[in-house]
Amino acid sequence: MFLDELTPFVQELTAHPVAFLGGLASGLLRLDLSDDPVKSWLTNQGAAPVAATSAASRASARNGGPQNISID
């Protein structure tokens, strides 16, 4: 049962080891993909551009931050 949960992990690791380990390393090091050294390298590799801000953060900034709500 435990091995069934690891199957997708192992399949991705064996299919694309360099990309998988690069993504794992960037996640562990908490690299921001929109920062210049990483962004320019990804662009040179042919990766799609990363959005600088998410829709939720843009909406939050537009509305002045989190809103209080009351639940009846």
Q: Which of 66, 72, 26, 69 is nearest to 45 (CA)?
A: 26
**pLDDT tens-place string over residues 49-60:** 555 555 556 655
pTM recorded for the entire structure: 0.40
Beta carbons of 31 and 42 less than 8 angstroms apart: no
Q: Which of 11-15, 20-24, 43-47, 68-72 is predicted least confidently?
A: 43-47
Q: Side chain identity at 43, as an amino acid letter? A: T
Beta carbons of 52 and 68 less than 8 angstroms apart: no
